[in-house]
Chain A
Amino acid sequence: MRDKLKTLIQWYDEMLSLPHRSEVARELRDEDDLFMLLLYSEMVGIPNPVYYYTLELYPYMLEKFHDWHLRMGMEKSPLDGIRCC
């Protein structure tokens, strides 16, 4: 009896949360999509609206990037835009 009641409550709760879950998932997906767009828009030929802000990230990224290209077996920076060495 108690188990049945528990299942019933669980079912009811799930019924209520069904639309909410999808709505929250949708907002999350929209945010992810926006982030992807910021990252890769120039790859698909769309000018990046946050271009000037990404330039500000340059000093922070430089060191990490340098480590990365050395790790990858490239002595010099493979990208013209980033001149760490």
Chain B
Amino acid sequence: MMVRPTDELQAQDIVEPALDVSELSVEFPSRRGTLLAIDQVSMAIAPGEILGVVGESGAGKSITGLAVLGLLEHPGRIAGGAIHVGGRRVDTLTEKELTKVRGKEMGAIFQDPLTALNPLFTVGKQLIETIRLHTGMTKVNAEARAVELLQDVGIPAPEERLRQYPHQFSGGMRQRVVIALALAAGPRLIIADEPTTALDVSIQAQITALLRKLCDETGVGIMLVTHDMGVIAETADRVCVMYSGRVVESGPVADVIHNPQHPYTAGLMRAIPSLHDRVETLTQIDGSMPRLNARPSGCAFHPRCPQAGPKCVAENPPLVSTSTASAACWLQQGGTQ
């Protein structure tokens, strides 16, 4: 499909959100029927904003990130909805067009920095290649830019480090290199999928602080996918809580943490042991998240929900905004009866 010229015009005229996902559905066809991994998910990220996407394993948070990047693995496919990055629709692009957008308009940071880098090339070669591919700089300019990027992400002695291989870097430093790679072409959006999970706490704090700084300085929008509510609380501006392929709650971080609307979010917050005082038993959410092939009817959370009513079993609640935050729960929308 052709890139529509109107999309490009829009990008120049007004400040477009870094990312706009509307009613995205992703499905995985299998022999035993089609599994709906993402069910009508909508989210938007403004330039310079960090959106945290949080959920337990299998909630569909990583799949959302991969769908935006166009990296869904076969047989996964986008079944509906639209994805705009910086005002440009990306979900309808061909693979060839997408290759140009990916890296230039959007960067990616993954969990394991060792597998994200090629062990056979020096860090400098990988950085310079990326810069030249997307910006068409000369080799000399690209090298200067690479040094600048490494400096920006806080790597000491960048000129020497450029000549080193990934195995000569520590975990935290490697993740900084990956961040520099993601930033290389000056993207509008970075998808950071569990960027701190493989790192130790003291390094984790350095990396989240770096992401925050880069976001404030360069105006890039970041989608921070993580299972760690603590990282979200520390770093993100807004948060999307996902459960079984749907967004159940979204809003500003402080609101969602201190005043969660959805029973799942509320349960999740109480299940995290506190650093300040100790309780005899933690509040637990019984059971576990349903598998994709056994998603319950209505609200997917109802079998685990203490406040579920007949309406929750019958109908899936839409995501409706209540004051600043929005929640997908019948409790906020006229009761569960």
A pairs with B? no
Chain A: residues with CB nearer than 8 A to chain B? none
Chain B: residues with CB nearer than 8 A to chain A? none
